[in-house]
Structure 1
Amino acid sequence: MFNKSLLAVVALVLAPLGANAQALVDASDVDIIAALVQDEGYRAVIGTDGVGDPMITSSANGYDFDIYFYGCTDGENCRDVQFSVTFDMEDGMSLTRAQDFNLEKRWAKVYLDEDSDPVLEMDANLYGGVSATNFEDTLDWWVILMNDFIDYIDF
């Protein structure tokens, strides 16, 4: 009798966990990441970067950006992603202006490429998995920061 009561209590305690459980998302499956990007209303074109790792090309508010996959083994089983966009500016950007943005904002960073064009990037560690809600929030933050940067450079 005691064992049945104990099992009933354990079942009642654990029941909410099963109802709220959400499958974890990681960077090992580019198709799942692409589907989440599309679910948020953005296009997601799957491709391969220069070293053979997967990547996704997308856009928000008329600006293209890429999602690169890192920590991959032979183009598979990746561990994390990086959101990235480069802005081709006629006169480039000063290092001081890039550093000022980096001081003001969390999450994303700006550096200058060989033509002094700004590159905005944001890394996301997906190793071990995150909830779909967490990834969608990360994508939302990326779009917010990208828009903030566009306003910052008056592009």
Structure 2
Amino acid sequence: MLTLTSAVAADVTATRPDSLIAALQNAGYQAKLTKDATGDPMIESRAAGFRFRVVFFGCDNGANCNQVVFAAGFLTKEKPTLQDINDWNYDKALSKGAIDKDGDPHLRAGLWLQQPVSEDYFKGFLEVWDSSLGEFAKRFVK
């Protein structure tokens, strides 16, 4: 029997980084909670064979965050062009590619999580992220 307490405990929200850790681990991902340079929460993980970070935004002194961005960057010998990245972005609704100052490709996907979402909803997001990350790496990491 599902109680209100257990239903709430399964919700995923940026205000509780531990809820993201649990949801990632329940979905079979590694998840290590750390902090970024400003003291906000950050999660290190892997998907599609590549490392990525979950960076928290909209935080108040390292707490009460309202959104997360899944981010992965790649050091590559062959640098994609801006047109290559624009072509990638054109038909992607969730994840977006970019090129850093060194010409290396990065992939990001944001998720507003001030209000809790179900763990099933979050798992759906993870499936899209995992797929996008694999496709992005296949296309741009050479």
State whether TM-score is above 0.5.
yes
| Identity between Structure 1 and Structure 2 (%) | 32
Contact 2:48/2:133 (8 A) holds in 1: no
1:113-144 Cα deviation digits (max 9, x unpaired): 01010110000011221111111111111101
1:67-90 Cα deviation digits (max 9, x unpaired): 001110000011011000001111
Structure with larger Rg: 1
Contact 2:48/2:131 (8 A) holds in 1: no
TM-score normalised over the length of structure 2: 0.90
Q: For residues 59 and 108 of structure 2, what CA distance do their matches in structure 1 show?
A: 19
1:44-89 Cα deviation digits (max 9, x unpaired): 0110011110000000232100000111000001101100000111
Q: Is 1:143 aligned to 2:130, yes or no?
A: yes
**Which of these residues, 33, 51, 60, is aligned with residue 47 of structure 2?**
60
Alignment gaps of 5+ in structure 2: none
Q: CA deviation at 1:154?
A: 5.1
Q: Is 1:114 aligned to 2:97, yes or no?
A: no
Q: For residues 69 and 94 of structure 1, what CA distance do their matches in structure 2 show?
A: 29
Write the mapping of 1:1-150 to structure 2, written as runs, cut at 5 A.
22-23=7-8, 24-150=11-137
Q: CA deviation at 1:22?
A: 3.3
Contact 2:12/2:23 (8 A) holds in 1: no
TM-score normalised over the length of structure 1: 0.83
Q: Which has the higher contact order (CA 8 A, sep 6+)?
A: 2
* Structure with the bigger percentage of helix: 1
Alignment gaps of 5+ in structure 1: 1-17
In the alignment of these two chains, the number of paired residues is 138
